[in-house]
Amino acid sequence: MDRQLSDKEKNAAKRKMMLRIGIPAAVIAVAAISVPAILQPSKDATKMTFGIVDRGDVYTSLSASGKVVPAYEEIITSPISARIMEVYRRPGDSLETGTPLLRLDLNATEVEINKQRDNRQKQILAVEQQRLSNETHLNSIEMQIKVKQMNVSRLAVEVENERRLDSIGSGTGDHVREAELAYRTGCIELEQLKKQLENESKALDANLRSLKLDLSISDKNLGEQLRTLEDARLKSPRKATLTYINTNIGQQVSEGERIATIADFSSFKIDAEIAEANVRFLSAGGKAFVKISKKIQPATILTVTPVSTQGAVKFSVVLDSASVQVLKPGMSAEVGVVKDMKSDVLRIPVCSEYTQGPGVYELYVVKDGDIEKKTVRLGEANYDYIVVESGLEEGDKIVLSSTKSYKNRKYKLNNYNN
């Protein structure tokens, strides 16, 4: 006969039943949650580089190859044809303004200068002689004019006397006419002398000016020869470093032949060239940048060659920061010429996947501790940023490091810290 169970026994039986059902159910629930997480592939966040989508300016540029050269470099040529007598300096020497470089044989030049000085002295004497001769000759004509004026005045008095005598019957009409004729003749001769004085004064003055012009030309030639002589002493025109000098003592050098080169290594520029088709983006004072040792330095276009050579245009840039001590002569550098500026656009830092220029890319975006592949359209880029045209929003976080080996569309991030 069955015994009726007590409440205590009934509760114990219920607990056993719940345990038999609950434990397997809990195990199944935990498995349902943890197994997908265990099976989902993951990546170590500490081995990745991330970037944030933000807003800002992005300039686009054209690339050009360049070489670092001294900002100041001067080739010193021989101003005369002469032999090298002595060499005072060697390549690598530091120079001050006026430092002698070498000595040329200047005897022939000095002899020519002495001849020009003697010739100049003769011209000075010729000018003075002509001046005195002009004064003497013109003074003589002026004296003749004074004498003639006195004679004309006397003839005028005689005319008046003859007219008076004729009026009182003491003279004759013939005497009056003779006196008037003599007076008119004297006046004509006086005017002739005055005209002669004017004409000869102009002629003699022109002759004197011609002699003075010859003297002025001689002075200029002599001055040029003296400057050439001074240049032929071959001194450094400024503080610099000697990079080349002709050390062949006794060698004959021609006028205009390179004899030394100096450079200022305290500042540098980058000489570069770009395709002729892009010359419209080049202008003195234009913005540029220089990439050296993976670092970007802002720069300014200094000069642009007005002609192209073999389809390329040469130009030079200088760094905006004079304190940047990263340039060495002969170093290769990548130069970027800024051609356009896009303001207030969505942008991301340059990432490894951006290899084909503007177009559609698949980037991994961070979301809830995972990274998930997303289709994104990217635009123009420079060394720092890429324009985002669609597919991302401001504040999104993306993977910048290479993801070429990633096969799945989604990965869990391990060791990830926001």
Q: What is the average pLDDT score of the chain?
A: 86
pTM of the model: 0.50
CB 251 within 8 A of CB 269: no
Residue that has been written with the tokens 């245009």 in this structure: 313
Task: Tell me which of 159-168, 203-212, 368-377 is least confident.
Answer: 159-168
pLDDT value for 365: 94
Nearest to 413 by CA among 38, 39, 30, 46: 46
pLDDT exceeds cutoff 80 at 300: yes
Query: pLDDT of 191-218, one tens digit each?
Result: 999 999 999 999 999 999 999 999 999 8
Query: pLDDT of 218-247, one tens digit each?
Result: 889 888 888 888 888 888 988 989 999 999
Residue type, 113: I
Question: In terms of DSSP bridges, do strands 42-44 and 94-95 run parallel, antiparallel, or are they unpaired?
Answer: unpaired
How far apart CA 129 and CA 121 sit, in angstroms, is 12
Q: At what angle do helices 107-168 and 173-231 cross, to 10 degrees?
A: 170
Q: What is the DSSP letter of 358?
A: S
How far apart CA 141 and CA 126 sit, in angstroms, is 23
What tokens were used for 30? 């935990």
pLDDT exceeds cutoff 80 at 293: no
pLDDT value for 316: 92
Query: pLDDT of 306-353, one tens digit each?
Result: 888 888 899 999 888 755 567 777 888 888 888 888 889 999 999 988
CB 272 within 8 A of CB 317: yes
CB 347 within 8 A of CB 26: no
Q: What is the DSSP letter of 56?
A: E
pLDDT exceeds cutoff 50 at 35: no
For residues 165 and 294, the model is more confident at 165
pLDDT exceeds cutoff 70 at 37: no
Half-sphere exposure of 153 (CA within 13 A, CB side): 6
Give the list of residues 6+ apart from residue 404 with CB closer than 8 angstroms, or none. 352, 353
For residues 40 and 78, the model is more confident at 78
CA distances from 192 to 79, 187, 220 (A): 58, 9, 42
pLDDT value for 394: 93
Secondary structure element (H or E) that encloses residue 26, with its range: helix 7-39
